[in-house]
Amino acid sequence: MLALAAMILGLVLSIYVYVAYNQNLPDAQARWADTLMFVEEYKWIPAVNIGYIVGVDGLSATLVLLTSIVGLGGVLISWSVEDRPREFFAFFMLLVAGVHGVFVAVDGFLLFFFYELAVLPMYVMIVIWGWKERREYAAMKLTLYLLIGSFISFIAFLYLYFNLPAAGVAQTFDLRVWSEANFPFAMQQVWFMPLFLGFAILAGLFPFHNWSPDGHVAAPTAVSMIHAGVLMKLGAYASMRVGIQILPEGTVYWMPFIILLTLINVLYGSFIAMRQRDMKYLIGYSSVSHMGLVSMGFATMTLVGFTGAGIQMVSHGVMTALFFSVVGMIYDRAHTRSMDDLSGMRKALPWLVVPFIIGGLVSMGMPGLSGFIAEFPIFMGVWQGSSLPATPSFLNLIPANYYQIVAILAILGVIITAAYILRAVNTVFFGDYDSEKWHDMRPILPIDKFTLVMFCTILIAIGVVPSIIGPIIQSGMTPVIHRIQEATQTMTVLDSVQIVATNLLSWLGGA
């Protein structure tokens, strides 16, 4: 009850922040530091310039709201936890607090602090309340993957911290200062990968996605919801905030390569999801595939793509939360998640059919639902990305050559999504109903119904009225795009100078 009260309070406050931000959208040309609102700043460890600085921009305000919604849903879904409920909700609150913390942190150290704080309760919750067969393995795997990732980023972060003076700004952990820093290109080239990848592990980027389905499956329902719904966004968010925003030239150098990884993510994730029999694994792999789209949005390096990625974060967050709550309800009642055993659930649990189908349509990107609003800009961004100027890049990949192909293949990935989702709907909810086998099905509680309706409403609302979310996310992404554009310009200039120089040399040599 206390947990519920806390979550509702959190939700109300987040809505306030969101609405307040939405009403004062910053100027499109503003620097990131000026787009922040609700900033609070205290000294924490002054000796090394670590501050307690929090504030939100357009993207983080949205994600904070998302966290509150999913957190509230998680508390409602876990209403009937019987094994040590006090500890359960205490750890759950800690988890949500950590996630909130990452989204609002404006100080690099604080961001890492909250990040670690969010990973720890995951371990405890999976190990204690998780699925008995896999929980120890999955929990350990998840924790080690995530912590290794974050510390790899951390090393890169520390290295850059000590080289801040070389980039022309004061030595501090304040990300507002970082976001103005211009590191030498050679440094960005080397350190972008560790910085970005460390967090991208949490976003499930191929080939580091392996921990995620196991973690989803082993976690209790509420934790799966937070995990897939919010925690993976944490990775995407942090890799953008710390990786892309700080090292734009590194971004431009590496992204043409990373988009290939994300393409693998999208396709490979869908194909694996296709052959899963366990519903949670199915959704787990579909999350990998969808988070691939988020990373792909970042890899487009265009405003449209970034905005799409931001909306996809929210849309996917609500959608997987919905999926996991449906699967959790089925599992609570049928004690199995295998699609071989389940059939005809529409008779026993009619309330679950429509939400699951809505979730499915969202994940296929059906127009009128939030998935379309999210995926369409991403694909559009990829296509637009093919007109990016040629810049020095890893393996000398030139976006113009293959971004269109990437876009086509990724759109084809949606077809696979449709296939596995529809198949799941078909086998689980339709088909023969064995009333002997399922005679002791408990009905769905009102509280569960409320959760499902809440999620569905959000998905439909975003789909029908995209303007409630589009501008605010766009305002959060604009400063980042500015950084990238500046970087592209300097790099292109460099490049053309080099070309002129080589031409000159060859001409001289020829003469």
Partner 1 sequence: MSSTLTLDWILAILPEISLVVLLAAVLVYDRGLKPANRRNVGLLSAWGAFAILLLTLGLWVFLGVPNIQQALSVDSLLWGGMIRNDLITLVFRVMFLAALMITSLITIDVKRLQRGEFFALLITATIGFSLMAASADLIMLYIALETASISSYVLAGFMTEDDKSAEAGMKYFVYGAMATGVMLYGMSLLHGLFSSIGIPSTNFYQMGSVLSNAGAIPPEANGVILLAAALIIFGFGFKISAVPFHFWTPDVYNGSPTSFTAFVSTASKAAGFAVFLRVFTAGTFGAPGQESLWWALLISMCVITMTLGNFAAIYQNDIKRLLAYSSIAQAGYALIGLVAFTPDGSAATMFYLLMYVFTNMAAFGVIILIHNVSGSNDLRDLYGLNRRSPYLALVMLFALLSLGGIPPTAGFIGKFFVFKAAVDAGYWWLALLGILNAFVALYYYLSIVKYMYLYRSDDEDVPIPISRAAQIGLGISVFFIIFLGIYAGPAYDWTREAANAFFTLVVG
67: enclosing H helix or E strand: helix 58-77
Q: Least distance in Å: CB of 124 to partner 1?
A: 7
Closest CB to partner 1 among residues 148, 497: 148
Q: In this structure, what token pair is assigned to residue 117?
A: 């704080």
The mark string for 109-138 relative to partner 1 (x by CB under 8 A, - otherwise) is x---xx-xx-xx--xx--xx-------x--
Q: In this structure, what token pair is assigned to residue 5?
A: 């009260």
Q: In this structure, what token pair is assigned to residue 6?
A: 């806390």
Query: With contact defined as beta carbons under 8 Å apart, do 315 and 370 qualify?
Result: yes
CA–CA separation, 504 and 80 (whole Å) = 76
Please, which of residues 15-44 interact with partner 1 by CB under 8 A?
Answer: 43-44
Stretch that binds partner 1, among 54-62, 141-149, 251-259, 260-268 (CB under 8 A): 141-149
Closest CB to partner 1 among residues 58, 98: 98
179 DSSP assignment: T
CA–CA separation, 150 and 384 (whole Å) = 32
Please, which of residues 48-87 interact with partner 1 by CB under 8 A?
Answer: 48
Question: CA separation (Å) from 448 to 57, 77, 296, 326?
Answer: 32, 6, 34, 9
Stretch that binds partner 1, among 140-148, 365-373, 374-382, 413-421 (CB under 8 A): 140-148
The mark string for 158-177 relative to partner 1 (x by CB under 8 A, - otherwise) is xx--x---------------
Closest CB to partner 1 among residues 129, 206: 129
> Contacting partner 1 (CB under 8 A), which of 131, 151, 394, 430?
151
Sign for the pseudo-dihedral over CA of 59, 65, 68, 74: negative
Query: With contact defined as beta carbons under 8 Å apart, do 227 and 216 qualify?
Result: yes
Closest CB to partner 1 among residues 157, 323: 157
Amino acid at 397: L
Q: Least distance in Å: CB of 3 to partner 1?
A: 18
Closest CB to partner 1 among residues 83, 440: 83
Q: Least distance in Å: CB of 201 to partner 1?
A: 13
**Is 143 an interacting residue with respect to partner 1 (CB under 8 A)?**
yes
Question: CA separation (Å) from 259 to 85, 203, 245, 295, 403?
Answer: 43, 14, 17, 8, 9
**Is 147 an interacting residue with respect to partner 1 (CB under 8 A)?**
yes
Query: With contact defined as beta carbons under 8 Å apart, do 251 and 484 qualify?
Result: yes
> Contacting partner 1 (CB under 8 A), which of 1, 23, 29, 46?
46
Closest CB to partner 1 among residues 119, 477: 119
Q: Are strands 37-45 and 50-56 parallel, antiparallel or unpaired?
A: antiparallel
Number of residues that bind partner 1 (CB under 8 A): 30
79 DSSP assignment: G
CA-based nearest residue to 196, from 161, 159, 158, 246 = 246
Closest CB to partner 1 among residues 194, 229: 194
Give the number of residues written for the chain: 511
Q: In this structure, what token pair is assigned to residue 305?
A: 């793509």
Q: Least distance in Å: CB of 476 to partner 1?
A: 26
Q: Least distance in Å: CB of 327 to partner 1?
A: 23
Q: Which residues bind partner 1 (CB under 8 A)?
A: 43-48, 109, 113-114, 116-117, 119-120, 123-124, 127-128, 136, 139-140, 143-144, 147-148, 151, 154-155, 158-159, 162
